[in-house]
Amino acid sequence: MEEYLTLSGEGTQEFVERKSRFIGYVKPVETEQQAQEFIAQIKQKHWDATHNVSAYVLRSGQKRYSDDGEPQGTAGIPVLEVLQKEGITDAAAVVTRYFGGVLLGAGGLVRAYSHGAKIALDAAGIIVMSPCTEVELEFGYDFYGKISYLLPRFYAKTTFSDFGVVVKMRLLLKDKFLDPFQKEISELTSAQVTIREIDRRYDCIEET
């Protein structure tokens, strides 16, 4: 499992180029079905648009684009190339065009659709998804202060906590910190606290 870049969330932005209105949309997706549903949603929203150009790229290696009636190579490929140039994956983009009566030419179309995708992507933002492991700890209150002090050093994200007879915590850590964290906990508690791995998944944990 390796880190990858994807969208922080959905994003949209628009601009006007020589009387044509361009509206860019992007959204994080994980499957081809999700990408197609997003594209269909935008097409339904802008059913009266001249073109709804789309592209998506997935971690599985799948990538698709559609010129939606624009001259071949002037629309879908430029949108796809914006996603690829930024190095992001698991992302879909749609750039809607309302024709304003002035022809842009092949070069103008490439620039316009590229810009529409880029400003939508900038509006959404990019995040790093890292391979992470969720762990569960159970310990007495005498260890709570020491363990809590340790968490920021490993950028651990608390996903669950319960303060009953004993303290129960679930933490999400980047895989690269898992072994050092387990070693620190063992030394800090004289091996009295065990760590149980309960899940592995990708997540965004900023090291700040």
Give me the pLDDT at residue 39, please.
97
Give me the pLDDT at residue 157, please.
94
20-28: strand order across its sheet: 11-17, 20-28, 91-98, 51-57, 63-66
Count, residues in the chain: 208
pTM, full prediction: 0.83
Reading the chain (208 residues) residue by residue, the pLDDT tens digits are 789 999 999 999 999 999 999 999 999 999 999 999 999 999 999 999 999 999 999 999 999 999 999 999 999 999 999 999 999 999 999 999 999 888 888 999 999 999 999 999 999 999 999 999 999 999 999 999 999 999 999 999 999 999 999 999 999 999 999 999 999 999 988 888 889 999 999 999 888 7
Give me the pLDDT at residue 104, please.
87
Residue 197, Cβ density class (10 Å: 0-12 exposed, 13-18 middle, ≥19 buried): exposed
Q: What does the block give as tokens for 196?
A: 């149980």
In this structure, the number of other CB atoms found within 10 A of the CB of residue 41 comes to 13
Give me the pLDDT at residue 194, please.
84
Give me the pLDDT at residue 208, please.
75
Give me the pLDDT at residue 2, please.
87
Name all domains of the chain by residue range, CATH numbers in brackets. 4-124 (3.30.230.30), 130-203 (3.30.70.240)
